Structure 1
Amino acid sequence: MNMIRKTASAMMVSLALATGAAAQDKDLGEVVLIELNTTKPTEAGCTLSFLVLNGHPSQIDKVVYETVLFNSAGQVDRLTLFDFGTLPPGRPRVRQFSVPGATCDGLSQILINGAHTCEAPDLADTACEAGLTLDTRTKIEVIG
């Protein structure tokens, strides 16, 4: 039964990825995928839009990542927390974060420094970090 559930979960993840993430045609496995999908300049700063997908067989109730933003000179601009909220298994979610006082062109890199909070009672304690898969569709590099 567990094998059937894992296979079904992997199939759902592959199908969900076909709608947007750069990981098309690859089995995500039991990891979390975070893709910086778009950036949008605003009067107040820069809005970052992420596509996120939980490849685990169970829901992540709450995940908050410690995130470091680097400017175009490669220097740390700020350290912040991005709350990705609840992530159901195999269903893509889009999360947006406004970065006040930052210009989108002024950001060169985003470092996902680790999970500040990971509430996933049915998963391993490392579910939000182990095998974290990062990608970008922008000029801003995403590393972790």
Structure 2
Amino acid sequence: MVKAGLIGILCAVLPISLSAQETPRLSITLAGAETTGDACRLSFLGQNELGADLTSLVLEAVIFTKTGAIERLLLLDFQDLPASKQRVRQFDLGGVDCADLGKVLINGAQSCDGVDAGDCIARLQTRSNVKGLEFTG
């Protein structure tokens, strides 16, 4: 009787765990931040696992300072992002020292051509490889 109960629990939980791992996603990693001259160059690694090519991906980002003030709002044009491929995109923020930045927030998607509306944000997974600079969506 204990075995039957345990098997029932495992059968109930296992499909949820598997489906969560298989959920298509759009993964964007803040891979670098380097001050170059009078600009901060942010490098992002994007990987599209949504099951379809993205012919255009433009994300609205909010850049915050370490003190929490909004430094600027901008559009990050990732151009195309083919399915199951990785792409690196770089963006220069003029007049900014990277050491002054604290967070990059993806506020929304201006365009996400190739999948149903809303999937880019609903399935967005963000992470930062830059110490001291948070990246969230």
TM-score, normalised to structure 2, is: 0.81
Aligned identity (percent) is 34
SS where residue 99 of structure 2 aligns?
A: helix
- Residues of 1 paired with 2:28 and 2:134: CA distance? 12
Larger Rg: 2
Match of 2:128 among 127, 136, 143: 136
CA distance 1:84–1:28, shift in 2 (3 Å): farther
Match of 1:119 among 108, 113, 121: 113
- Residues of 1 paired with 2:79 and 2:22: CA distance? 20
What is the identity, as a one-letter code, of the residue corresponding to 1:41?
A: T
Structure 2: unaligned runs, 5 residues or longer = 1-20
- Residues of 2 paired with 1:96 and 1:73: CA distance? 24
User: What do you get for the CA RMSD once the two structures are aligned?
Assistant: 1.4
Structure 1: unaligned runs, 5 residues or longer = 1-26
- Residues of 1 paired with 2:50 and 2:96: CA distance? 34
Q: Which digits, 9 at most, give the CA deviation of each residue in 1:103-131, with x for residues without a partner?
A: 100000000001011111xx221221112
Match of 1:56 among 25, 50, 56: 50
**Deviation at residue 102 of structure 1 after TM alignment:** 0.7
Q: 1:53–1:92: 8 Å Cα contact kept in structure 2?
A: yes
What is the identity, as a one-letter code, of the residue corresponding to 2:95?
A: G
What is the identity, as a one-letter code, of the residue corresponding to 1:100?
A: G
1:38 aligns with 2:32: yes
Q: Which runs of 4+ in 1 moved over 4 A?
A: none
Q: Report the count of equivalent residues.
A: 117
SS where residue 51 of structure 2 aligns?
A: coil
CA distance 1:41–1:28, shift in 2 (3 Å): farther
Q: Compare the two structures and name the one with the higher strand fraction.
A: 2
Q: Compare the two structures and name the one with the higher helix fraction.
A: 2
Q: 1:34–1:53: 8 Å Cα contact kept in structure 2?
A: yes
**TM alignment of 1:1-144, pairs within 5 A:** 27=21, 29-120=23-114, 123-138=115-130, 139-144=132-137
TM-score, normalised to structure 1, is: 0.77
Q: Which digits, 9 at most, give the CA deviation of each residue in 1:25-53, with x for residues without a partner?
A: xx573111110001111112100000000
CA distance 1:28–1:134, shift in 2 (3 Å): farther
What is the identity, as a one-letter code, of the residue corresponding to 2:116?
A: A
- Residues of 2 paired with 1:99 and 1:28: CA distance? 36
